Structures are given as structure tokens and as C-alpha cells.
Amino acid sequence: MKRAIILSVMAMFLTAVPAFAMESGDSKDHEKTFEQRKEGVLKMLDKRISVLQEEKACVTNAKTKDDLMACSRRVGNAHQNADHERWAMPTLRC
């Protein structure tokens, strides 16, 4: 008796899971979400590249230790801001 109940519950579960996956897996919604995430990641990467280029220019133009330290402080703030934006944005999962 227990075995029959367990088998029937398992059969219901096995048939319900694929049906749920088919209903929730609209490919157009997935593609739209993917494109939005991809666009967001590319924007974030562009910002990070921009910050790194500014850091390189600052370090290249530094003449003294104090200039170099000023670059570090200025760029550190830019990195922190970029990190906050990064964590606020949904991640891209492939």
C-alpha cells in the first residue's frame, strides 16, 4: 500500500515538473532578459575600462609621490562607485 502511494506521488511529480518547465520557459522572454542583462554588463565593463584609463593617465602624469597618492585616492573612489553599481545590477548567468 505504501509503495503504491509513493509510486503514484513520484509519477505525479515526474509529470508535473516537465510541464512546469515548458510553461515557464518562454524563449522570447528569456531572450529579452538575456539581451537586457548583456547590455547592462557591457555598460558596466565600459565604465570600468573608463576608470582604468583615467587611472593610467593620472599615474602617467604624476610627478611626485603626492601626485601618485592623489591618483590612488581619486581612482579608489571611482572603483568604489563602480562596485556599488555592479552589485546593484543583476548578474549575467549563462
Domain ranges of the chain: 37-94
**Whole-number Cα distances in Å, 81 to 50, 74, 75:** 13, 11, 10
Output the pLDDT for position 56.
93
The predicted pLDDT at position 55 comes to 92
Question: pTM for the full model?
Answer: 0.50
CA distance 63 to 52: 19
First to last CA, the chain: 45
36-94 residue pLDDT tens: 999 999 999 999 999 999 999 999 999 999 999 998 888 777 666 666 665 665 555 55
Angle ∠(28,20,3) on CA atoms, nearest 5:
160
Query: Quick check: 88 and 33 in contact, CB under 8 A?
Result: no
